[in-house]
Structure 1
Amino acid sequence: MVATVEPLTAPVEPDEALRRIAFLLERERAGTYRVEAFRKAVVTVRETPAEELHSRHEAGSLQDLAGIGKSTAAVVSEALDGDLPAYLESLQGKAKPLAKGGADLFAQLKGDCHSHSNWSDGGSPIEEMVLTAVELGHEWLVLTDHSPQLRVANGLTAERLTKQLAIIDAVNASLGGQFRLLKGIEVDILDDGALDQTDAMLAKLDFVTASVHSKLKMNRAPMTKRMVTAASNPRVNVLGHCTGRLIEGSRGTRPQSDFDARAVFEACAEHDTAVEINSRPERRDPPDELITLAMEIGCLFAIDSDAHAPGQLEMKAYGCERAEQLGIDPDRIITTWDVDRLVEWSADHA
């Protein structure tokens, strides 16, 4: 069951106070610079011996440590004094449910099919994404860093992806079966509908989300053919943010791509490819009328966060609010499935 995290209370370790502040800032979509200050401070605190932290606190020299500034030093000092840091207390006091509705559906979610780490364009290591997912009550998470063509997002070559898969094995071994990190990718859909990774490499993965990231203004007929081809590919499990639109945010706005949605969703239904309900507020993709069309056609859905930071994993609340309003049967949402059912369904595609 996915849930919100319980507020921290005093006493709290300095690194945990800094982690939670970063999480809450990411959750409210604060600026990257502010978040990074706290994430970097976590690393510094963990690498500094406890005795040195205490002595620097007493001497007032915490800010002499690399990665510790005025605000982060204050958090460390208050935590070392046994108090709940004032900044953390303030953020926790302001934290409210992200969405007004969809709570019942949100509670039924068990995982997330779309997440990124700092291996591509995410902001945190794999281990931090996993730890936060566990804290949020996830049972599983698919790691879907980008594929090679998306160089602006540091997409993974086959060689880098191979190295990542070994790390995922190590993470799962350390978790003792209490949580499952699935091997995945957000693979680019190329101009002709082919996938931006070798078939041999895709065969090593548990899960594939396929998305269009280039030539979003392609004419209707070729864009439709492109998306139908990808949705029909047996390696593809989820069609990601299908319209490519942006409706708000720092990147500005972008209209949705032009394609025959009925043809695309019929291909999804025929080949058992789920349609993603991308929960990022700047995307809300697809729009309600297309979700309704996909429902009528008989598609499965995946309510995903598309998280690029740990604090964004909770954004699935926005997708749940929309799905509940539109009346989607929870059993048609693959992110409500347990990991065994999900993996069995995914394996049936290949």
Structure 2
Amino acid sequence: QLDIVAALNDDLAPFRILTGIEVDILEDGTLDQDDDILERLDVVVASVHSKLRMEKREMTRRMITAIANPHTDVLGHCTGRYVVGRGRPQSEFDAELVFRACERFDTAVEINSRPERLDPPNDLLELAVEIGCRFAINTDAHAPGQLEWQPYGADKAAETGVTIDRVVNSWSTDKLLGWTQRLASHTKA
């Protein structure tokens, strides 16, 4: 697919299709895709999808390890919670340490617009704002109709004081790619 997108970008210039992926943060904090794939992508969202009930200290370490990875642009649905249906409680982690790592390594915090997630909750979003994090407002869409969820995340951002200049997916393509390419060039330190 990456080769197809590259060919389309050549044919359709100046129109640009961005490439991206959501990767799993493994138990040790590494990402579940190889560096040679990740370095070809424009945007990488890293999220915990398994062992959500890890002990707080270990979950914090796991998340910070992923945040420090130079390929990680966005930390996805950080609490892993579901607030409707069967529901699922938040993962336990030291939010202040995790968000300070996001600020230090310039990794955006995802504001997940999926109605059953709305992750992170407002208190954690306000903490991330206070710390100085950047944000990405994402739908977590698994089907085309779910792209309509974007306003839920935008409303949540407005409620918690996230300003538009800190929302990376509101930026121009050039500014966004400059940011992600800078991160991937191993300047995270």
TM over 0.5: yes
Deviations 1:133-182 (A, max 9, x none): xxxxxxxxxxxxxxxxxxxxxxxxxxxxxxx112222443454433x221
The partner residue of 2:4 within 167, 172, 194 is: 167
CA contact (8 A) 2:23 2:31 kept: yes
Q: Tell me, which stretches of 5 or more residues in structure 1 are unaligned?
A: 1-163
The yes-or-no answer on 1:229 pairing with 2:65 is: yes
Provide the residue aligned with 1:262 in structure 2: 96
1:171/1:314 CA distance change after superposition, 3 Å: farther
In structure 2, how many angstroms separate the alpha carbons of the residues matched to 1:230 and 1:203?
15
Deviations 1:309-336 (A, max 9, x none): 1121121100111111222111001111
The yes-or-no answer on 1:186 pairing with 2:17 is: no
Secondary structure of 1:282's partner?
Answer: coil
The yes-or-no answer on 1:207 pairing with 2:43 is: yes
Identity %: 58
The yes-or-no answer on 1:349 pairing with 2:186 is: no
TM-score in terms of structure 1 length: 0.51
The yes-or-no answer on 1:299 pairing with 2:133 is: yes
Provide the residue aligned with 2:118 in structure 1: 284
Deviations 1:17-49 (A, max 9, x none): xxxxxxxxxxxxxxxxxxxxxxxxxxxxxxxxx
**CA-atom RMSD in angstroms:** 1.2
Matches within 5 A, 1:243-254: 243-249=79-85, 252-254=86-88
> In the TM superposition, what is the alpha-carbon distance from 1:231 to its structure 2 partner?
0.8
In structure 1, how many angstroms separate the alpha carbons of the residues matched to 2:12 and 2:112?
28
TM-score in terms of structure 2 length: 0.93
Provide the residue aligned with 2:105 in structure 1: 271
Q: Tell me, which stretches of 5 or more residues in structure 2 are unaligned?
A: 185-189
Secondary structure of 1:284's partner?
Answer: coil
Amino acid of the structure 2 residue aligned with 1:203: E
In structure 1, how many angstroms separate the alpha carbons of the residues matched to 2:12 and 2:123?
41
In structure 2, how many angstroms separate the alpha carbons of the residues matched to 1:172 and 1:338?
17
> In the TM superposition, what is the alpha-carbon distance from 1:183 to its structure 2 partner?
1.6
